[in-house]
Chains A and B, each alone.
Chain A
Amino acid sequence: MDLNVKRQAQQRADRIAAFRAELAELEREQGLALTVEQRARLEAHLDRILSALARQYGVDVTESAKRVSWGMRIATLLGGAAFGAGIVLFLHRIWGALPSPAYAPLLIAVPLLLLAAADLTFRRRVDLYYTALLALAAGVAFVMELSAMGSIFNLVPSAHALLVWAAFAMLVAYAYGLRLLLGAGLVLLCAYTASVWFATSGGYWANFVERAGLLIPAAMVLYALPWLTADRDSHDFKVVYRLGGAATALTALLISQRGELRCLGLPPRTLEALYQVAGLVLSVGVVLHGLRLRRSGLVNLGAAGFVVFLFVRLHAWWWDWMPNYVFFLLIGLIAILLLFPFRHLRKRLSERTVS
């Protein structure tokens, strides 16, 4: 099934629902009056379209169906992770009884079989949730399997594992149009570039989080990539790149340690403050860009980042010398004050949409 067509079908079903709601409102306000015959023909036509969309593409035609779909997505996520982990843990359970030569073939077979099952469900046009669940399970199994292989041969952990996990996740994501796997792959890719950079500078790669700022260049590239792939996004992956890039950059700024940029000759506390201010500015930028693109995911991510960075900065300024209750009262007051600019922004956006 072409996922892009399915998404377009869902968008049309959403437009029909919005059209019906608005039509009812217009009729109530007597802004538009259809004859009974016109109304009946229109309703019959819309019903035919919706039932065809639901039959062919499995789209959600009501709000209730959409809510159920969200439940299915969460079940897919949990089920996929649990399924992959369960199989590998089962292998751990029978490990002691297995001969050494059986280890590698068994471990390799687990993600491959799950991948084959995912492909089978996709080609049989079973609901995409099953494909997503099995693909996710294959990804989890691959991570656990490769780690187990490293353990049984007592190998020193390698940063390259991050690269192969990222490659697997992204290949499967592009094959089936799975945004969650793509997001995981992109984050792993950022982690890989940061860890290799960190290792090149003499550190132990697994500790790259201590120099979380190294994640930022790759995150910026991810955020910028959708501009380079203007009309080649058949799976609506642009938002995943932007969400992955923004989330990684904000997280990197949040966990960056003091003194990381000693080379700039600035005191650690100044650098810490600079990171937090950069986080605030970036959060606002993500919110504004999300509004411009009409992507609620970006807006929510930016808003959450803004609140966290603001809290961290205020904590650094006030927590030590202020009574705790005053600190929290001030936070509450600031939240109330923040509602004013947000309301103003919302009003301006509404006016711009109407004009």
Chain B
Amino acid sequence: MKRALILAAAAVVIVSNVWVLISARRNQSDASGGTVALTERELGLPPMAGDSTATFLELKWDTYSSVPADLRTPEWLGATKLAELGFDCHVPLGSPDARDYYSSQSPAPVFLVLEYEGEAWKAANRDQETTRDRGPKARLGSKTRLFAVDAGREAGRLRQKYPDRARWVIVRGMVKPLFQDRSRRDSTALTEPRLRGWLEVIPNQLFVPPPYSKVLQSLRRPSDQAGNQAGTGPRFAATVSWGARYEPWVQAVRLLPTTDAGAKTSQ
């Protein structure tokens, strides 16, 4: 009996890992989520953490809003869109219970559409140039060209709406309703409360396997020497695909010539 239990425990280890491998293979069999060539603007290279020699890239994306302080709470993700995503938004925003009601709603898994070098990015660039904004957005690296432009419960429908796989990638994410009655920039009261969705991409970190990780080795620094790359152009480019399960993987990585020209090309 004891032997059977231990063999069953070993089988659990093996079967669960085989399941992971099958899932990964199925995901990478078809890049239906899309494939885009990104640079360091969209893929942050975090400093080395502890003793780990594993290389990960952080996906940097943004949302467009006419109010720069609206981090990851885009204008298109209002009450109507939240209701479309399955949230119960029947409580009027002016109701005294509205804050408690919407704050108690839990995040829901969704599919997000990330647009590469699209209208949202152009509009954000225009705003930045005209207002010379130096708010929180500028500090958090708004130079990414990857912008979340839509969300839905069904990836297939989103793909029908956004057919170009090289321009729009469909990724897994999460949305949570956010009740706002004060400005996020200076905490002043808004003229009327509003409801927005707050977005997150899952997973937000991409593992870089060898041999691509070796390409990035020379660029990595220990965490105590970390600093931003402001003022310099992107140092590397990577081709990233999102597969049949809308999970990403790194297809290729190459180094870019590190000159200010890189920064110019993004404008």
Contacts and interface: CB of A to CB of B under 8 A. Distances in A.
Nearest to B206: A154
B55 A96 contact: yes
A108 B13 contact: yes
Interface string B194-206: 0000000011011
A323 interface: no
A202 B10 contact: no
B104 A260 contact: yes
A161 B17 CA distance: 10
Interface string B126-137: 000000000000
A155 B100 contact: no
Interface string A88-102: 010011111111100
A98 to B, nearest CB: 7
Given A94-B53, A146-B16, A164-B16, A258 B104 contact: yes
Interface in B46-104: 50-56, 86, 100-101, 103-104
A258 B106 CA distance: 12
B106 A198 contact: yes
Given A175-B9, A211-B106, A108 B17 contact: yes
B14 A108 contact: yes
B52 A155 contact: no
Contacts of B9: 115, 167-168, 171-172, 175
B219 interface: no
B213 interface: yes
A95 B51 CA distance: 10
Interface in A40-95: 89, 92-95
A97 B245 CA distance: 29
Interface in B108-136: 108-109
Given A168-B9, A203-B108, A149 B100 contact: no
A321 interface: no
A232 interface: no
B6 interface: yes
Given A92-B51, A96-B217, A98-B210, A203 B107 contact: yes
A163 to B, nearest CB: 9
A142 B207 contact: no
Interface string A204-216: 1001001100000
A142 B9 CA distance: 11
B23 interface: yes
Contacts of A268: 100, 104
A172 B6 contact: yes
A154 B242 CA distance: 10
Contacts of A176: 2
Given A92-B54, A203-B107, A210-B106, A153 B24 contact: yes
A151 interface: yes
A155 B12 contact: no
A259 B100 CA distance: 7
B213 A146 contact: no
Nearest to A109: B13
A32 interface: no
B10 to A, nearest CB: 6
Contacts of B24: 153, 155
Contacts of B214: 96
A150 interface: yes
B52 A92 contact: yes
Nearest to A90: B51
A339 interface: no
Contact count band on B: 35 or more
A258 B102 CA distance: 12
Interface residues of A, number: 53
B55 to A, nearest CB: 7
B230 interface: no
Interface string A126-158: 000000000000000010011001111111110
Contact of A152 (B101, B104, B209, B217): B209
B20 A92 contact: no
A246 interface: no
A152 B57 CA distance: 12
A70 B1 CA distance: 29
A122 B9 CA distance: 15
A111 interface: yes
B248 to A, nearest CB: 5
Nearest to B108: A202
B32 interface: no
B21 interface: yes
A321 B209 CA distance: 58
Given A119-B6, A146-B20, A151-B207, A168 B52 contact: no
Interface of B: 2, 5-6, 8-10, 12-17, 20-21, 23-24, 27, 50-56, 86, 100-101, 103-104, 106-109, 172, 174, 202-203, 205-207, 209-210, 213-214, 217, 245, 247-249
Given A112-B14, A202-B108, 17 more contacts: A92-B54, A100-B209, A112-B10, A112-B13, A119-B6, A149-B20, A153-B207, A154-B247, A155-B24, A156-B202, A156-B203, A171-B5, A204-B107, A204-B109, A207-B106, A210-B106, A259-B100
